[in-house]
Amino acid sequence: MKMIKRVAMSVTALVFIGSSVFAQSLADAKKAIDAEQYQKAKTMLKNLTVTQPTSDENWFYLGWVYIKQDYADSAKTAFNKGIAINPKTALNYAGLGAVARLDKDQAGATSNFNQALANAGKDTKPYLYVGKAYLLMVPPANIVTQANADAAIAVLEKGKTVNTKVKDAELMVTLGDAYVSQLKSSEAYKNYSDALGADPKSLTANVAEGVLWRLANNWESAANQFKAALAIDPNYGPAYREWAETDLRQAKNELKVAKEKVMEGVEYYKKYLSLTDMSLESQLRYADFLYNAGDFKALQELAANLSKYANSNLRVYRYLGYSASENKDYPAAISALNKWISAAGEKRILATDYLVLGKAQLGAGDTLGIANLRKAYQMDTTKADVFLEIAKSDLDRKKYLEGAQAYQDYFDKSHKSTLQDKFLQARAYFSAFTRAPEGSKPDSALLTKADTGFAIVSIKLGKPFAAAVQYRAYIADMKDLDRNNIKGLAKPYYEQLISLITAKPALTDVDKRDLAEAYAYLAAIYEYKDKDDAKTLEAYTKAKEYDPANKQVVAYFSRKPAAKTTK
C-alpha cells in the first residue's frame, strides 16, 4: 500500500507543475482524459482557459473532467462559463444536460440536449457527448436503464449520419457501449469493429472489445485485446484496469484459479494506478475493485488513508464505512457512514448506505440500527433481507416475539425463506411463550404457531428433524394440562426423538442428555398413566445410562430404593 500513500504528494505536485512540462494543447488534454489521468488533464485545461480565454471548448472538457470526478457543481460552473464565451456552443449545452441528468432533472436534461443538437450542425462531438451523458449512472441506479440506453443509441446513430465524411471512432465505441449496457453483444461488436476500421490505433476500441469478450467469459480473447491496446501504448492505464476486472471475473467463475487471478488482478490494478497520476478518482476506482474482490482489509486501509486529505471525495467515507463494517470495526464504520450520509446530500445516498450503517450499529449494540435497516427497506423494497438482521438483533436481546414477527416480515416481503429461518422463527415463538414476563399470562396461540413452524420444517425437509421433533414434544407436553388425567401427548414425539438420536453413529454429550430426558418422560407416562412398574423401571434405567444426573432419574431412584438393585 506504499503506492497509495503517495497520493497527497502526487496530487499536490501536479498543481505546481508548469506549462513547460505539460503540452498546452487541447489534444493532449483530451488524451489525458482518455487515459484517465484526470488530475493532469484538469491542470492542462485550467491553463488553457487562461491562455486561450475565447475557447468555449476548453471549458467544456474541463467540465467533463469534473463530471468524471463526481463534482457536478464544478462541472456546471465550467459549462456555464463556456456558454458565456459562446452562446452558440453545442458541447457546453450537452454538458449542462449531463449535469441535469445527475441532478435527476429530466426536463432540464432534455432541454439542454435539444439545444446542444440544435447548435451542433455537422459536428459529431455534441452527439457523442449527449450519448455519453445518457449512459452516465445516476445513483441509486447501478445499471443503464433501457430507456436511457435507447436514447443514447438514437442520438449516437443520428450522429453517425450528420457528417458522412467523418468516421468518428470514439462515437462508434460509445455506441457499442450503449449496446453492451443492454447485453446486445452482436451490435456492440459491430460498432467496436467499425471503430477499429476507422482508427486501427484506437485504444478505447481495443479495450472495449476486450471487455466484450470478458462478458462472454472468453478470458483469452479479452486478454489479447488488452495486449493489443498496450502494444499501441504501453502506458495506457485503462487497459490494465480492465485486465484486472477480467481477472476478478474469472476468479469468481473458476474457483481453481481464483487466488491466482485475484492476486494478478491486484497487480494490474496497481499498474493502472501508477499510470493514471495516482489521482483520488483513480484510487476510488481501485476501491471499487477491492470491494468487489472482497479485500476489505486493503480497502479499509486505502479509504482511511484517502480520508486524511482535505480535498477527499466524500465517497471515501462510504468505502471506509463499508470496509470497516465487514472487518467488524463498528465504531469506524458508524463514524464514516454518518459523515457520508450527513454531507453527501439526499440524491447521492443509497439504501445500502443505511443498510450497512444499521448492521454496524447493531454490531456495536446500538438499537438505532433497527431504524436504519427499516429506512433501507423503505428506500429499496428489494432489500427485504434487512428483516433477517432485525430478527437476529431482537433474538440477541431476548425480544422473542419481536424477532418472530421480524422473520414473518421477511417471509412476507421477500417471498422466500430457508428451513433454518423457519426453524428459528418457530423457536422464537416458543421462547416468547415460555419466557413471558413474570406476572403476565402467556398467549397459547404462540405455542400453536411454534408447533406449526416446527412441523413445516420436517415436512419440507422430507424427513423428521430431531430438533424440531424435540420442540414439538415440549409443546405437546405443555398442552397436556390436566396432571390428574395425563394423556401422554408428547409420547410419540419422544419415541421418534429416541429413534432419530440412537441412529447416529456416535453420540455427543448433548445427545445423551436429550435421550435421558426423553426416556424420563416415557418413564413418567408408564408410572402415572399406564401404571406399569416394569416399563417405568426400564425407562428410568435407560435414562440413567445416558445421564445419571438427570433430576427425574435421581428423584425416582431415591424414592424407589428397591429399584436400585433390580435388574
pLDDT in tens, 429-438: 999 999 988 7
In a domain, 469, yes or no: no
Contact yes or no for 11/39 (Cβ under 8 A):
yes
CATH at residue 524: 1.25.40
Helix axes 26-34, 56-68, angle to 10 degrees: 20
In a domain, 185, yes or no: no
Query: How confident is the model over 37-48, as a mean pLDDT?
Result: 94
Question: Given a cut of 60, is residue 346 above it in pLDDT?
Answer: yes
In angstroms, rounded to a whole number, what is the distance separating the alpha carbons of residues 502 and 496?
10
Contact yes or no for 24/51 (Cβ under 8 A):
yes
φ, ψ for residue 86 (rounded to 5)?
A: -140, 100
pLDDT band per the 50, 70, 90 thresholds, residue 277: confident
Least reliable range by pLDDT among 84-88, 180-184, 483-487, 512-516: 483-487
pLDDT band per the 50, 70, 90 thresholds, residue 13: very low
pLDDT band per the 50, 70, 90 thresholds, residue 9: very low
In a domain, 507, yes or no: yes
Tell me: the pLDDT tens digits for 459-482?
Answer: 999 999 999 999 999 999 998 877
Query: How confident is the model over 527-540, as a mean pLDDT?
Result: 94
Question: Domain range for residue 560?
Answer: 478-567
In a domain, 463, yes or no: no
In a domain, 551, yes or no: yes
Least reliable range by pLDDT among 133-142, 183-192, 512-521: 133-142
Question: Given a cut of 70, is residue 23 above it in pLDDT?
Answer: no
Q: What is the DSSP letter of 415?
A: S
Give the pLDDT of residue 457. Answer: 95
CA distances from 317 to 9, 10, 331, 361 (A): 21, 21, 13, 16
In angstroms, rounded to a whole number, what is the distance separating the alpha carbons of residues 45 and 41?
6
Q: Which residues make Cβ contacts (< 8 Å) with residue 23, sequence separation at least 6? A: 44
Contact yes or no for 89/65 (Cβ under 8 A):
no
Residue 22, CA atoms < 13 Å, CB-side half-sphere: 27
Give the pLDDT of residue 331. Answer: 97
What amino acid is encoded at 565 in this protein? T
Contact yes or no for 202/196 (Cβ under 8 A):
yes
Tell me: the pLDDT tens digits for 386-408?
Answer: 999 999 999 999 999 999 999 99
In angstroms, rounded to a whole number, what is the distance separating the alpha carbons of residues 520 and 517?
5
Nearest one of 266, 261, 263, 264 to 249, comparing CA atoms: 261
In angstroms, rounded to a whole number, what is the distance separating the alpha carbons of residues 267 and 286?
11
Q: Which residues make Cβ contacts (< 8 Å) with residue 243, sequence separation at least 6? A: 210, 222, 223, 226, 265, 268
Q: What is the DSSP letter of 22?
A: S
In a domain, 550, yes or no: yes
In angstroms, rounded to a whole number, what is the distance separating the alpha carbons of residues 72 and 509?
64
In a domain, 496, yes or no: yes
pLDDT band per the 50, 70, 90 thresholds, residue 163: very high
Percent residues over pLDDT 70 in the chain = 94
Number of independent structural domains in the chain? 1
In angstroms, rounded to a whole number, what is the distance separating the alpha carbons of residues 329 and 473?
42
In angstroms, rounded to a whole number, what is the distance separating the alpha carbons of residues 384 and 413?
6
What sign has the CA pseudo-torsion 225, 229, 235, 241? negative
CB-count burial class (<10 Å; 0-12, 13-18, 19+) for 394: buried
pTM to 2 decimal places: 0.66
pLDDT band per the 50, 70, 90 thresholds, residue 8: very low
Give the pLDDT of residue 12. Answer: 39
In a domain, 543, yes or no: yes
Tell me: the pLDDT tens digits for 293-308?
Answer: 889 999 999 999 999 8
Cell numbers linked to 512: 445423551
Give the pLDDT of residue 152. Answer: 98
Query: How confident is the model over 80-105, as a mean pLDDT?
Result: 97
Helix axes 368-379, 386-396, angle to 10 degrees: 170
Give the pLDDT of residue 140. Answer: 75
